[in-house]
Amino acid sequence: MSEASQERRVADPTERPMLDSTTTQQEADPAVAPTQMSVQVVEGHESFRRLKRDWQALEARDPEMTVFLSWAWLDRAFRDNPGRWRVFVVRSAAERGAAVAIFPVMQRARWNAAEGRLETGLVSAGRLILSELTGLLLAPEHEVDALRALARALGARPWADLTLLAETAPARARRFAAAFDAGVFETLEPAEAPATRPVLALPDSYESWLQTGPAPQFAQRIRRFQRRFLGSGARRVFVGSEDTFARDAGIVLTPAQATWTEAHGASMTERMVADGRAVLANAQTSRSLFVLTLWEGERPLGGLAHVLDHEMDRVHVVQGGAVPGEEAASIGVLLHAEAIRWAIEQGFAFYDFGRGAARYHHAFGARDRETPALTIRRRQGGEAATFDPSSLGDGLKALSGLLHKGQTEAATAAADQLVRLVR
């Protein structure tokens, strides 16, 4: 654990509030932003790669940093998805042009049946690689001016809505949304309770955690399972490596595959498995993958895949569980307990059970952390205000989809809109 990571660690996350490689500049209004800020829009992978030094310098300044916003994590996703993303970089004149905010977004177009038109939507760019958490990087001492400049620059571009998914810093996300012109945009949050994920604060030793973290009866259950299955040698736990990646990825993706097939069908499941494998491969490439598998003889019983945040000392569960047909309760308990043991021994401070976590995860002593989704929506405006010409490719795909579905009237309207665009 580095001294830098110790200095930046937050006490408890459950308590925290254009094409090719060109760039453009948009100046913030000095009458609105007391500190002069400029906003650079980066659209090509080579331009993104040239941002590496600025990006990583800002990573080090942001106490709300997450591995899922790191340059290394997003590099592959941006390389593999040309034209589908933008990065907005706020630079401060007071810091000689240093980046003080970075906001990566994914851009997509879809058919809005209610309005009868094609629209451009923006969403947190981490979703290109199914990131567990998303958000923006920010130098906290420049928050007010940087968010204001960013909101003005984004608001001047054509799009219908901007969705902030699984926000790593909810309070910051809400302040960002509030920086948009309320006469032009509105902010929406789901009426139901915001999404949460159980996060466990880790002590200095595994024994200390067993004594103070889980409920007493659950701690006894963990000890019993460990004696019965691991102490006896009946089951073994292995930490994955580069050599075992293909095998381990298959094990950790198997538990969800049956559920996905039942809910989404074979074709969609195949795509979801491929997406899941891409997440694991991305973690492997960025040296942030930790996989634990449980075996009985030569038979795999289950596994857990994690993404490691070395800078913020967090371990994030991203996939896994018991292989279908196996006794799930003891497998899940053993896998998580041994992963927690490993995380403590490696000096990590938090263990994040992830999205959609099972209720029993709270028995480990985890507390819920809010990770809401916010949508910033344009109140009104015609197609010129809601469809970005750079979304032409997505617009053509949407048009093709309407034709394949036999929705000829909608397809004609979409085609007419695109004709007006290219005239």
pLDDT value for 52? 98
Rounded to 5 degrees, what angle do the CA atoms 295, 298, 303 make?
30
Rounding to the nearest 10 degrees, give the CA dihedral for residues 330, 331, 332, 337: 80
3-state secondary structure string across the chain: CCHHHHHHCCCCCCCCCCCCCCEEEEECCCCCCCCCEEEEEECCHHHHHHCHHHHHHHHHHCCCCCHHHCHHHHHHHHHHCCCCEEEEEEEEHHHCCEEEEEEEEEEEEEEECCCCEEEEEEEEHHHHHCCCCECCEECHHHHHHHHHHHHHHHHCCCCCEEEECCECCHHHHHHHHHCCCCCCEEEECCCCCCCEEEEEECCCCHHHHHHHCCCHHHHHHHHHHHHHHHHCCCCEEEECCCCCHHHHHHHHHHHHHHHHHHHHCHHHHHHHHHHHHHHHHHHHHCCCEEEEEEEECCEEEEEEEEEEECCCCEEEEEEEEECCCCCHHHHHHHHHHHHHHHHHHCCCCEEECCCCCCHHHHHHCCEEEECCCEEEEECCCCHHHHCCHHHHHHHHHHHHHHHHCCCHHHHHHHHHHHHHHHC
3-state secondary structure string across 93-151: HHHCCEEEEEEEEEEEEEEECCCCEEEEEEEEHHHHHCCCCECCEECHHHHHHHHHHHH
pLDDT value for 191? 67
Contacts of 300 (CB under 8 A, 6+ apart): 251, 293, 294, 323
Give the tens place of pLDDT for each residue, 34-57: 469 999 999 999 999 999 999 999
pLDDT value for 357? 67
Residue 299 neighbours by CB distance under 10 Å = 10
Strand 314-322 with 137-138, pairing: unpaired
Between the alpha carbon of residue 261 and those of residues 256, 257, 374, the distances in Å are: 9, 6, 29
- Would you say how long the chain is, in residues? 423
Instruction: Tell me the CA end-to-end span of the chain in Å, nearest whole number.
Output: 58
> In order of start, what are the domains of the chain with their CATH numbers?
3-195+373-422 (no CATH), 197-369 (3.40.630.30)
pLDDT tens for each residue of the chain, 423 residues long: 444 444 444 434 443 332 222 233 343 343 444 469 999 999 999 999 999 999 999 999 999 999 999 999 999 999 999 999 999 999 999 999 999 999 999 999 999 999 999 999 999 999 999 999 999 999 999 999 999 999 999 999 999 999 998 889 999 999 999 999 999 999 998 766 668 899 999 999 999 999 999 999 999 999 999 999 999 999 999 999 999 999 999 999 998 887 888 888 888 899 999 999 999 999 999 999 999 999 999 999 999 999 999 999 999 999 998 988 777 789 999 999 999 999 999 999 999 999 876 788 999 999 999 998 999 999 998 999 999 999 999 999 999 999 999 999 999 999 999 999 887
pLDDT value for 15? 39
